[in-house]
Structure 1
Amino acid sequence: MHQSPEAFQLAAVSYRSPDAPARFVEALRETGFGVLVDHPIPVDLVEDVYAEWLAFFDSPAKHRYPRDPERQDGYFSHAVSETAKGHSKRDLKEYFHIFPWGRYPGEVSGAARRYRDLAAVVAGELLGWIEDQTPADVRARFSMPLGAMIADSPSSLLRVLRYPPLTGGEEHGAVRAAAHEDINLITLLPASNQSGLQLLAGDGNWMDVPCDFGALVVNVGDMLQEASGGYFRSTTHRVVNPSGEAARMSRISLPLFLQPRPEVVLSERYTAGSYLAERLRELSGRGKEG
């Protein structure tokens, strides 16, 4: 029986389980989020990326790659970080945008690129799960297979994201990531080195997303919501400020935003390109991507 979002508890699903596709897509349907364990992305690769990029963010080298305001690649300091739609305070974070065609720091190894390529393959498989588990009448809305929408997309984005330690001097009301939805098709995110990610449940309460290290978190973006006519919903989520010892530590995360090629038709109203352009205009160029 279809459960209400209020009754649904988000639990990790083993990627290797025979019923993984059904359970994973059920979680996406109920909460907008799914969590996978036993997946093919090596934990040691994620650890390597975390370690060397934490060192990169702690070095002056990051300033050699200032963000390009037009191309939106490179390093984004807190001073040019995002302000979520409906909020007035900038998120407490800094990050580096890696596009397939974009700049990549010479001070780090290619581990982040290897992670991106492997995660993109997994994403294609998960989109196949989603499509296979979607009712035929909803699936008929898709202009092409979901996995084909992201194939060779220049718009898919790996964000290497660092939330610095809290000092106590932060602006009142500022948080690591204010409540928002992602614009893209789906987002893949290996569990961070710290907890803090929460989703807004159907009953209006915030639910912690399981974050055991090695897990892979996947969430629905606005474009999949649009393409599915609302069958899958893009769920509001946030990253809350920690307390105690965790507040004195950096939090790092690696969201991969899977975005269709600009010409891909999402619905009668939008292509992926026109949808993204409209959303960015709504955000006055501040571009809350995830």
Structure 2
Amino acid sequence: MNKIPSVNLADFLSNDKTTKQKFIDEIGHAYENIGFVALKGHFLDDKLVKSLYTEVKNFFDLPIEVKKKYEIPGIGGQRGYVSFGKESAKGKKEGDLKEFWHFGQYVNKDSKYAKEYPDNVIVEELPKFNEVGKETYQMLEKTAKYVLRSLALHLGLEENYFDDYIKNGNSILRPIHYPPIQTEPKGAERAAAHGDINLITLLMGAQGKGLQVQNHNGDWIDAMAEPDELMINVGDMLSRHSNNKLKSTIHRVVNPPKEMWGTSRYSIPFFMHPISDMKLDVLENCVDQKNPKQFDDITAGEFLEERLKELGLKK
């Protein structure tokens, strides 16, 4: 595969069984072969997207001393601001050339997960920032739910298999700012080659060159979405759970050519995580003689903890 396939969620939501099955087959084939699709027909409207980018740019334009007061120690960067160069890809010494913000799950105070999740951080200087972030989070979570329903059917599971695991899940919305590059980066990239931790990632802002995906031959392919599309990829949790039937693809954000160093780049991924007690044990119907079980049993919470340490976000 040398091109990212495009699918439309409206086909899955259709009352026509043939149209729905066509979507399941297309997305299943894409995730077995390259691990990425471009998705139209999601639940974000243009007005919300425009508002979000305005608020995100306003935040990253704040003075560094203002942003730093929203960097919360002791929570592994799970909420609020994470400053430039703090995160590095697994196995990489150099920090990525980015700063970012984390919106997390919104749970009721009486939820058993209220104690597990840190509170979302409120930006006092920007009254609309948190409101727009919350609305975007919920629309992307809704989109992800239907994508996972299609994948459940593709894997031979009941359609709503993932629903209870993702309700109140530990999902993260991460607005990222890749600032202008000031000096020759020594081995650092905007985002070094990595696989995502979670079930699936929904990415806003993949217009224009930068994001690249590695196919099974080891070639890097430019992954560019249309303005009305989200780029959606499989994460390591779903890859484990499906015994690598659905592929978690290595991807990166490369530095722009030198004449473009003076420009910022923004992208906004939504990392769809399940609740921490979901078992990621390999599904029985993904194991056979040709494909023996490849992964040890582990919960989503244990797996996340391991990976946050590898990324340098937790000690």
TM-score of the two chains, using structure 1 as the length reference: 0.86
Where does 1:71-82 land on structure 2 (aligned, <5 Å)?
Answer: 72=77, 73-79=79-85, 81-82=86-87
The 3-state SS of whatever aligns with 2:237 is: helix
Sequence identity percentage: 33
Structure 2 Cα separation of the partners of residues 166 and 186 of structure 1:
30
The one of 174, 183, 189 aligned to 1:175: 189
Residue of structure 1 equivalent to 2:42:
39
Where does 1:111-126 land on structure 2 (aligned, <5 Å)?
Answer: 111-126=132-147
Please say if residues 53 and 108 of structure 1, whose CA atoms lie closer than 8 Å, have aligned partners that are also in contact. Answer: no
The 3-state SS of whatever aligns with 2:58 is: helix
Where does 1:193-232 land on structure 2 (aligned, <5 Å)?
Answer: 194-232=208-246
| 1:244 CA drift (Å) | 5.4
CA deviation string 1:166-192 (max 9, x = no partner): 22x143121100000111111111234
AA aligned to 1:161 is I
Matched, 1:270 2:295: no
Structure 1 gap ranges (5+):
1-6
| 1:257 CA drift (Å) | 0.7
TM-score of the two chains, using structure 2 as the length reference: 0.80
Structure 2 Cα separation of the partners of residues 9 and 194 of structure 1:
15
CA deviation string 1:206-265 (max 9, x = no partner): 011122222111111110011111111211000011125543221111111111111111
Give the root-mean-square deviation of aligned CA atoms: 2.1
Structure 2 Cα separation of the partners of residues 192 and 164 of structure 1:
16
| 1:29 CA drift (Å) | 1.6
The 3-state SS of whatever aligns with 2:32 is: helix
Task: Give 1 or 2 for the bigger CA radius of gyration.
Answer: 2
Matched, 1:25 2:25: no
AA aligned to 1:271 is T
Structure 2 Cα separation of the partners of residues 108 and 199 of structure 1:
37
Please say if residues 14 and 36 of structure 1, whose CA atoms lie closer than 8 Å, have aligned partners that are also in contact. Answer: yes
Please say if residues 193 and 252 of structure 1, whose CA atoms lie closer than 8 Å, have aligned partners that are also in contact. Answer: no
The 3-state SS of whatever aligns with 1:255 is: strand
Deviates more, 1:125-134 or 1:15-24: 15-24
| 1:71 CA drift (Å) | 5.2
Structure 2 gap ranges (5+):
12-18, 106-118, 282-295
Change in CA separation of 1:246 and 1:44 when aligned onto 2, cut-off 3 Å: farther
Change in CA separation of 1:150 and 1:212 when aligned onto 2, cut-off 3 Å: same
Please say if residues 206 and 230 of structure 2, whose CA atoms lie closer than 8 Å, have aligned partners that are also in contact. Answer: no
Where does 1:78-93 land on structure 2 (aligned, <5 Å)?
Answer: 78-79=84-85, 81-93=86-98
Structure 2 Cα separation of the partners of residues 38 and 258 of structure 1:
18
Please say if residues 198 and 239 of structure 1, whose CA atoms lie closer than 8 Å, have aligned partners that are also in contact. Answer: yes
CA deviation string 1:83-140 (max 9, x = no partner): 1112221100000111123213231511121111011011001100111112x3xx49
